[in-house]
């Protein structure tokens, strides 16, 4: 009867789980920065035609609020549900957008990153 050496078993397990551990080894700040950047890219491609998406500047469309001011109207995190179901607003020029969950998280993270400080 042959026995599999314990050392070999431990090495085999390490080889199998190392890639999974590496995927989660990215520091939270790096993951957050990557999410914010993906959210910025989404905003750039879907929203910048009408909205000022960055920390400065005027919106190209006069009815479109700058993204940095959205938290003055409501909690930015409340937009996640609207992005999932298809966002509808009173402005007829606003196209309907519906995003997958990962893209919603990134977009909300980006929106939070550009909010002006509260003046309460």
- Are 34 and 109 in contact by the 8 Å Cβ rule? The answer is no
CA atoms within 13 A on the CB side of 65: 15
- 102 within a domain of the structure (yes/no): yes
Q: Is the pLDDT confidence value at 24 over 60?
A: no
Output the pLDDT for position 117. Answer: 82
- 33 within a domain of the structure (yes/no): yes
Express each pLDDT in 54-100 by its tens digit: 999 999 999 999 999 999 988 999 888 888 887 766 667 777 778 89
Using alpha carbons only, give the angle 74, 78, 83 rounded to the nearest 5 degrees: 120
63: which DSSP letter? T
Domain count, the chain: 1
- Residue 3 corresponds to which tokens in the numbers above? 């026995």
Owning domain of residue 93: 28-113
| Domain harbouring 68, CATH code | 1.10.760.10
- Between 35-44, 64-73, 110-119, the lowest mean confidence (pLDDT) is in 110-119
Which of 39, 22, 35, 30 lies closest to 83, judged by CA? Answer: 39
For every residue of 79-90, DSSP letters joined together read: HHHHHHH----S
Using alpha carbons only, give the angle 101, 105, 107 rounded to the nearest 5 degrees: 115
Region for 86 from its dihedrals, namely left if φ exceeds 0, alpha if ψ lies in -120 to 50, beta otherwise? left
Q: Is the pLDDT confidence value at 14 over 50?
A: no
pLDDT > 90: what percent of the chain? 48
């Amino acid at each position: 009867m042959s026995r599999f050496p314990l050392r070999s078993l431990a090495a085999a397990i390490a080889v199998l789980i190392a890639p999974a551990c590496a995927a989660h080894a990215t520091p939270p700040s790096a993951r957050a920065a990557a999410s914010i950047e993906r959210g910025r890219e989404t905003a750039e491609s879907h929203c910048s035609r009408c909205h000022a998406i960055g920390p400065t500047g005027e919106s190209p469309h006069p009815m479109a609020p700058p993204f940095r001011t959205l938290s003055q109207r409501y909690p930015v995190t409340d937009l996640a549900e609207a992005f999932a179901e298809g966002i509808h607003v009173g402005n007829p020029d606003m196209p309907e957008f519906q995003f997958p969950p990962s893209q919603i998280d990134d977009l909300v993270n980006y929106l939070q990153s550009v909010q002006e400080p509260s003046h309460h």
